């Protein structure tokens, strides 16, 4: 099924050769294979990480101009994921997303994106000077989360903006909800433009048929994945995959070179090389284990009074085309405590650290690194918490409908660079916002930089505050003042 030998790890092997040669290091980093490292740090870390912490030279290749083991390692990644080319990003998916956007849109051109994008998308839009057109994702009122964007929404937005140069989709969401990406790819391609996918939460999808379709399989032209989030790479390590029909690979390389450091970490890149080997060769079994464990804990959580952990029953609700079962989202609305409270109780009392929390939920990221013992410890903690808090407070209120997307009069780059001043929110109607204003739940901006503040938005923020729901994003943490562009 693969064209290349996925058992190979060319970059890691080159580093091993460097170590085996017992090379004398007259190159940076100055710690010289660990000899110059602080003793306290080295005692904890051990010798090995420093032995392969090298810099760019022929034996280990260059990330900016790969001709040797990095080139081979990236080709293996492309082969594993079914891409025409792949790039290592040691600036996480954030860096890869900025590069994807800058590869397909220039200043003055339009890109269509969901309203609830990660801040790296906004950064890419600011850096490129592009004009965003926003699509609203589907919302789940009960869970207080944003799901995927519907194909129909993409179709309607493209119809209104036929001059757009690219469409970006988040798939799957942080909460493991996937949209119908294949259908979206067909719609986007009917306009002869590329589909780019923020697949931060999907580096594992390709390797199990129990998971949603991966971006490359669905027909995306560019996708960025956090290899470090879900599978075996170290933090900061992501992959950017390219299909060449609508995207110029040499442009992607140039932009990656523009954005990434000239001193990339070789231990990090070696972890990408070996994580790819692991998932390509053993992904199916490893993911079957992770899915079984997550399904086990999901079923058990649903037996605990006050908690709910969604699964397949969500399918076919708006924006829910498929579900990643490894995401364990624990909803605690019926227990009368917030997700933030639950997160703190689990962390402080039980030393269990969740991935994120919001008003109604905490999210555990499941992976093949989990154990049944840890799942059982989580369940035991949840039982105790349920017994302590059940029937003490009432269910948290529903979130309020979000006002319509306001008019954009400045593009994000102009708003970002423009001179700003802080004014009371109540006096800001008609001004141009210089910052984001986010409604939690469901984590969607009601205002983006460059948009006109309306009376409806100011009223909405007042209503949110009265209901005890969250609004944030402004420099003023109490959201009484807002930065506006002069
Ligand atoms: C949807 C989404 N996109 C992009 C990113 C950025 O990924 P990274 O942390 O690898 O830079 C994140 C991080 O949480 C994310 O949730």
Confidence at residue 195, expressed as pLDDT on a 0 to 100 scale:
98
Supply the mean pLDDT for the chain.
96
Which of 94, 114, 238, 240 to probe ligand 1 with, by most ligand atoms within 8 A of CB?
94
Is the predicted pLDDT of residue 68 greater than 90, yes or no? yes
pLDDT in tens, 341-367: 999 999 999 999 999 999 899 999 999
Tens digits of per-residue pLDDT, 222-268?
999 999 999 999 999 999 999 999 999 999 999 999 999 999 999 99
| Burial class of residue 129, CB neighbours in 10 A (0-12, 13-18, 19+) | middle
Distance CA 453, CA 458 (A): 7
> 192 exposed, middle or buried (CB, 10 Å; 0-12, 13-18, 19+)?
exposed
The number of the ligand 1 atom at minimal distance from the alpha carbon of 228 is 10
Give the ranges where 105-199 is alpha helix by DSSP (H): 119-128, 151-160, 181-189
- Quick one: tokens of 163? 């001059």
Instruction: Show the tokens assigned to 362.
Output: 């905490």
The Cα-based distances of 99 to 104, 123, 125, 128 in angstroms read: 9, 10, 10, 9
Per the CB < 8 A criterion, the answer to whether 367 and 230 are in contact is yes
Q: How far is the CA of 136 from the centre of ligand 1 (A)?
A: 19
Q: What is the mean pLDDT of residues 436-443?
A: 87
Query: How do residues 321-341 score in pLDDT, each as one tens digit?
Result: 999 999 999 999 999 999 999
Q: Is the peptide bond before 172 cis (omega within 30 degrees of 0)?
A: yes
Of 275, 274, 268, 280, nearest to 63 by C-alpha is: 268
**Residue 441 pLDDT > 90, yes or no?**
no
429 CA from centroid of ligand 1 (Å): 33
Å from CA of 393 to ligand 1 middle: 34
145-146 and 361-365 strand pairing: unpaired
Q: What pLDDT, on the 0 to 100 scale, is given for residue 255? A: 98
Q: Decide if pLDDT at 65 tops 80.
A: yes
In this prediction, residue 468 carries a pLDDT of 73
CA dihedral 293, 298, 303, 305 (to 10 degrees): 130
Give the pLDDT score at 21.
97
Q: Quick: pLDDT tens for 91-128.
A: 999 999 999 999 999 999 999 999 999 999 999 999 99
CB 207 within 8 A of CB 287: yes
Of the residues 226, 235, 358, 365, which should be mutated to test ligand 1's pocket, given the most ligand atoms within 8 Å of the CB? 226
Domains in the chain, start-ordered, CATH in brackets?
10-280 (3.40.640.10), 284-389 (3.90.1150.10), 412-485 (3.90.105.10)
The residue among 250, 180, 243 whose CA lies nearest residue 212 is 180
Determine the longest span between alpha carbons in the chain, in angstroms: 70
**Interval 176-199: pLDDT, tens:** 999 999 999 999 999 999 999 999
What pLDDT was estimated at residue 18? 98
Ligand 1 pocket by Cβ (under 6 Å) = 92-94, 97, 118, 120, 170, 174, 198, 200, 226, 238
Q: Which residues is 382 bridged to in the sheet?
A: none
Is the pLDDT assigned to residue 396 strictly greater than 80? no
Q: Which atom of ligand 1 is nearest to the CA of 226?
A: 10
Say which DSSP state 427 is in.
G
- Cβ-in-10-Å burial (0-12, 13-18, 19+) of 373 comes to exposed
- CA–CA separation, 406 and 385 (whole Å): 42
């Amino acid at each position: 099924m693969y064209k290349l030998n996925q058992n190979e790890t060319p970059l890691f092997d080159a580093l091993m050769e460097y170590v085996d040669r017992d090379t004398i290091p007259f190159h940076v980093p100055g710690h010289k294979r660990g000899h110059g490292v602080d003793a306290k740090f080295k005692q904890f870390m051990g010798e090995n990480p420093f032995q392969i912490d090298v810099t760019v030279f022929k034996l280990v290749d260059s990330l900016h101009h790969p001709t040797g083991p990095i080139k081979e390692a990236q080709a293996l990644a492309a082969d594993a994921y079914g891409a025409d080319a792949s790039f290592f990003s040691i600036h996480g998916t954030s860096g890869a997303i900025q590069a994807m956007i800058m590869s397909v849109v220039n200043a003055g051109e339009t890109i269509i994106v969901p309203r609830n994008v990660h801040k790296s998308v906004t950064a890419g839009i600011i850096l490129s000077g592009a004009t965003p057109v926003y699509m609203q994702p589907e919302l789940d009122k009960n869970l207080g989360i944003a799901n995927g964007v519907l194909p129909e929404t993409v179709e309607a937005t493209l119809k209104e903006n036929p001059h757009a140069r690219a469409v970006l989709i988040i798939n799957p969401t942080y909460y493991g909800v996937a949209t119908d990406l294949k259908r979206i790819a067909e719609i986007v391609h009917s306009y002869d433009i590329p589909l780019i996918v923020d697949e931060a939460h999907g580096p594992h999808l390709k390797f199990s048929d129990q998971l949603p379709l991966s971006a490359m399989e669905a027909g995306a032209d560019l996708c960025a994945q956090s290899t470090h989030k879900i599978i075996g790479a170290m933090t900061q390590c992501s992959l950017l995959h390219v299909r060449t029909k609508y995207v110029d690979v040499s442009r992607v390389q140039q932009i990656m070179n523009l954005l990434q450091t000239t001193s990339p970490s070789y231990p990090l890149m070696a972890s990408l090389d070996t994580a790819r080997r692991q998932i390509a060769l053993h992904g199916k079994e490893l993911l079957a284990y992770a899915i079984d464990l997550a399904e086990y804990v999901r079923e058990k959580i649903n037996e605990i009074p006050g908690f709910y952990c969604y699964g397949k029953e969500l399918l076919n609700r708006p924006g829910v085309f498929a579900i990643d079962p490894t995401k364990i989202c624990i909803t605690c609305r019926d227990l009368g405590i917030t997700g933030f409270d639950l997160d703190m109780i689990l962390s402080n009392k039980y030393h269990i650290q969740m991935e994120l929390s919001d008003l109604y939920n905490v999210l555990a990221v499941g992976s093949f690194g989990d154990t049944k013992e840890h799942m059982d410890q989580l369940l035991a903690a949840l039982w105790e918490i349920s017994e302590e808090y059940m029937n003490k407070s009432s269910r948290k209120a529903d979130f309020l409908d979000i006002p319509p997307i306001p008019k954009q009069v400045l593009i994000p780059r102009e708003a970002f660079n423009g001179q700003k001043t802080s004014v009371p929110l109540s006096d800001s109607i008609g001004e141009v916002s210089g910052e984001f204003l986010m409604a939690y739940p469901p984590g969607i901006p009601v205002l983006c930089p460059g948009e006109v503040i309306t009376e409806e938005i100011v009223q909405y923020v007042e209503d949110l505050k009265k209901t005890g729901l969250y609004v944030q994003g402004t420099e003023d943490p109490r959201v009484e003042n807002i930065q506006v562009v002069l």
